[in-house]
Amino acid sequence: MSVPEPIDPEIAAVEMELRSLDPDGTKTARVLRDTIDQLYDGQRTGRYKWEQLYKTEKTHCGTLVEINLQREFKFADGEEMDFRIADIEVDCKYSQKNGGWMIPPEAHGHICMLLWAKDSATPVWSLGLVRISPDVLNTGGNRDAKLTLNTAGRSSIRWLWDRASLPPNVLLQLDNDIVEKIMSLKHGTQRTNELFRQALGMIVGRSVVATVAQQDDYMKRVRENGGARSSLKPEGVVVLGQYKSHAIIATALGIPVPGPGDSISVRLAPAQAPGPGVAEIGGSYWQIAGSDDPIVPAPDLPKIHNSTKL
């Protein structure tokens, strides 16, 4: 019976620190989501997928990931590498594809934090740690003498999160013809309303609303008083957001709970009694409407205040 190799004590220390800062990886995933959306700049460009970026923008992604991770987790500057984590020098490397990290000569002997993300209908991301040495690198390299990991190097990566779920981009989850229909509408209000009609039961991130609305104060297009929340009410559709009272309703209905900046729409039908999949809203019982249920105006959602955000 083979004995597993001992864990590099510095890698173990860095892993412990990272897990203490982000136990379930949601903060790192959000940084990656926000960084990709920062590159899309959908509010001004209407872009929402990786293929729409220029080559220079794609190349810039790794730098933005490093900057945004340091801002989120307050990593100290390294003297030789990018960061000091658990008082250990750590270089940060992001790749557009899994396994494509380019390791510079100055990283030899140090720990690299390797990140990768794929924005798609089923978006995923990974973060792992590896100690750089000549035996984990391919020969050759580019003009900067940077090298990629060889088979031994890739197998020696200690994955903290491997192909974990990235917060979704709903415009990549909807059919292309539906997205084209949404984006072809003339006004931001129309586009936002159509988005929430078409994306029932799906998490809609703030950046998607910005991309669809393409205007200042784009979240106004979601709220009451002229936004989707009031415009879709006669159609039986409620738009839930990042509020505790809305989270209670989403949980009762059995749909995803919106996180910070997120929204989710669902068409409702009256329910006869409390039970699984039934939410009490305004003193009445409601459930997710089926295709055969007639359209009934949606109930008023609980009043919300900034203090009630999740």
Q: What is the CA radius of gyration of the chain?
A: 23
Angle at 147 between CA 143 and CA 152, to 5 degrees: 165
Q: Are residues 99 and 17 in the same domain?
A: yes
Residue-level pLDDT at 145: 72
Each residue's pLDDT tens digit, 168-201: 999 999 999 999 999 999 999 999 999 999 999 9
Q: Are residues 27 and 161 in the same domain?
A: yes
Domain, as residue range, for 198: 170-308
246-250 mean pLDDT: 96
Q: Are residues 186 and 252 in the same domain?
A: yes
257-271 mean pLDDT: 96
Three-class secondary structure of residue 301 per DSSP: coil
Confidence class for position 307, pLDDT limits 50, 70, 90: very low
Burial class (CB in 10 A: 0-12, 13-18, 19+), 59: exposed
CATH code of the domain covering residue 259? 1.10.10.10
Q: Are residues 13 and 156 in the same domain?
A: yes
Residue-level pLDDT at 129: 98
Own/partner contacts of 149-153, CB < 8 Å, gap of 24 or more, are: 149/99, 149/101, 149/103
Q: Are residues 56 and 106 in the same domain?
A: yes
Confidence class for position 141, pLDDT limits 50, 70, 90: low
Q: How many domains does the chain have?
A: 2
Residue-level pLDDT at 250: 97
Q: Is residue 51 part of a domain?
A: yes
Residue-level pLDDT at 52: 97
Q: Are 119 and 58 in contact (CB under 8 A)?
A: no
Contact residues for 4 (Cβ-Cβ < 8 A; gap 6+): none
Three-class secondary structure of residue 218 per DSSP: helix
The full DSSP string for 72-101 is HH-PEEPSSSSEEETTEEEEEEEESSTT--
13-28 mean pLDDT: 98
Q: Are residues 181 and 135 in the same domain?
A: no
Q: Is residue 59 part of a domain?
A: yes
Q: Are residues 142 and 202 in the same domain?
A: no
Each residue's pLDDT tens digit, 90-139: 999 999 999 999 999 999 999 999 999 999 999 999 999 999 999 999 98
